[in-house]
Structure 1
Amino acid sequence: MRCLPCGEAGLLVELDDLEQVLALHAALQEVSPPGVVDLVPAARTLLLQLDPALTDPGAVAEVVRSTTLQPGAAPEADSVEIAVVYDGADLAEVAEHTGMGPREVVRAHTGQEWRVAFCGFSPGFGYLVAQDDRLHVPRRSTPRTRVPAGAVGLAGEFGGIYPRESPGGWQLIGRTDATLWDVERDPPALLVPGTRVRFVEVEA
């Protein structure tokens, strides 16, 4: 890993892969290093936001380097169920990519627990990971200029839900009425890093 100062009150930790990011995130949540006020995971990095009155990047970097990583470790987190209508425009294409039928794709999507690895792209957008790699599919060769809010998609090793209408290149397999981002809610995002997610199929 590599530890780099980030701004006036941050430490950016670069890691080899997402598994190491998740392991370090879980370990630091357990340790709670003094002066670390927030942890922001991404695909290959973990940003530690610091209180400069209590610590400095050098001291926190020493803690990070001495932390033992346990692959697969995950802190206790909230669990949510998300109702999905599986009628996405790319469901048949996903079935072709995976070698499964459309109904098998739905069963694979609903038959396992997903976890929010990190957030980004748009407020409320969580990048979800799960164990079944049969659902790893490429992004669309041509992104859509408009993807509706609530669209449920797959891209690479991730699953996700579009919180609002936006352009996007993910393979769409369904849709949900769940509100992913609400400024009146605390926290505003339904899906925050660590959240466990179960998808439940419902009729249109």
Structure 2
Amino acid sequence: MTRRLLPSGESALLVECDGLDEVLALHDALAAERRPGVVELVPAARTVLVAVDPAVLPLESLATWLRRIRVEEAPAATASALGEAVIRVVYDGDDLDETAALLGISPEALVARHLAASWRVAFGGFAPGFGYLVSDDWVFDVPRLGAPRARVPAGSVALAGAFAGVYPRQSPGGWRLIGRTDAVLWDAGRPEPALLAPGRRVRFERASG
């Protein structure tokens, strides 16, 4: 694993990785051996930002830890600490039939594969509460829409590339919509506002319309 450490202000280091698989492995390793003074771990597609309290964990010590941590001995995920989010979905999305046709399967088969996959939140972004979900069980690469929608309703369950996601609020978007959920993805009044925190396991269940 190639790790390039970049300063990010006076209280964080940005770790550049070779790809998303290494980001997930590094995030799990850091979460499993979290040092006193670590304030936040923020994974992205190719990086992990590690924010600290420098009075507790100086950046020099943080850099040494980041270079020495052994990712290959990390647990498969941090799900035991974060728990599992269960999202109930009505599979009636506007793009369900077309997306299935593009992938060469029936809509019913696409829904079944989406339900059967074991998902986890790789990283957050786009909007507060939006999680990019990945799964080793998901073999599809779903093309985005040719022209993004001006308005995607909150709760829309969608696919793009190798990712699944749920729109936490109404917003523009180019992902393909396969269903909808009533789950609240972001609530600033909760102790942990984001339902889909990085590292958390996610399971989709079918709901009736």
The one-letter amino acid of 2:125's match is G
Instruction: Give 5+ residue unaligned stretches, structure 2.
Output: none
Tell me, in whole angstroms, the C-alpha distance in 2 between the residues paired with 1:185 and 1:72.
Answer: 28
Offset at 1:72? Answer: 7.5
| Aligned equivalent of 1:54, options 47, 53, 56 | 56
Q: Secondary structure at the match of 2:35?
A: coil
Equivalent residue for 2:21? 19
Cα RMSD for the two superposed structures: 1.4
Q: Secondary structure at the match of 1:105?
A: helix
- Higher mean C-alpha displacement, 85-94 vs 158-167: 85-94
- Higher mean C-alpha displacement, 159-168 vs 25-34: 25-34
Equivalent residue for 2:126? 121
| Aligned equivalent of 2:34, options 13, 32, 35 | 32
Tell me, in whole angstroms, the C-alpha distance in 2 between the residues paired with 1:93 and 1:69.
Answer: 40
Contact 1:90 1:171 in 2 (8 A): yes
Q: Secondary structure at the match of 1:7?
A: coil
Tell me, in whole angstroms, the C-alpha distance in 1 between the residues paired with 2:144 and 2:5.
Answer: 31
**Is 1:74 the counterpart of 2:77 in the alignment?**
yes
The one-letter amino acid of 1:26's match is D
The one-letter amino acid of 1:31's match is E
Equivalent residue for 1:197? 202
Q: Secondary structure at the match of 2:49?
A: strand
Offset at 1:73? Answer: 2.3
Contact 1:181 1:188 in 2 (8 A): yes
Deviation readout 1:68-99 (Å, 9 max, x if unpaired): 11287212231121111111111112112221
Q: Within 5 Å, which residues of 2 pair with 1:1-204?
A: 1-70=3-72, 73-75=76-78, 76=80, 77-204=82-209
**TM-score, normalised relative to structure 2:** 0.93
Tell me, in whole angstroms, the C-alpha distance in 2 between the residues paired with 1:196 and 1:6.
Answer: 29
Tell me, in whole angstroms, the C-alpha distance in 2 between the residues paired with 1:37 and 1:66.
Answer: 19
The one-letter amino acid of 1:108's match is R
Deviation readout 1:125-165 (Å, 9 max, x if unpaired): 01111123333211111110100000000011110000000
Contact 1:38 1:48 in 2 (8 A): yes
- Higher mean C-alpha displacement, 133-142 vs 173-182: 133-142
Identity of aligned residues (%): 54
Q: Secondary structure at the match of 2:71?
A: coil
Q: Secondary structure at the match of 2:50?
A: strand
**TM-score, normalised relative to structure 1:** 0.95
Q: When the two structures are aligned, how many residues end up with a matched partner?
A: 204
- Higher mean C-alpha displacement, 141-150 vs 50-59: 50-59
Q: Secondary structure at the match of 1:19?
A: helix
Cα distance, 1:91–1:72 mapped onto 2, change above 3 Å: farther
Instruction: Give 5+ residue unaligned stretches, structure 1.
Output: none
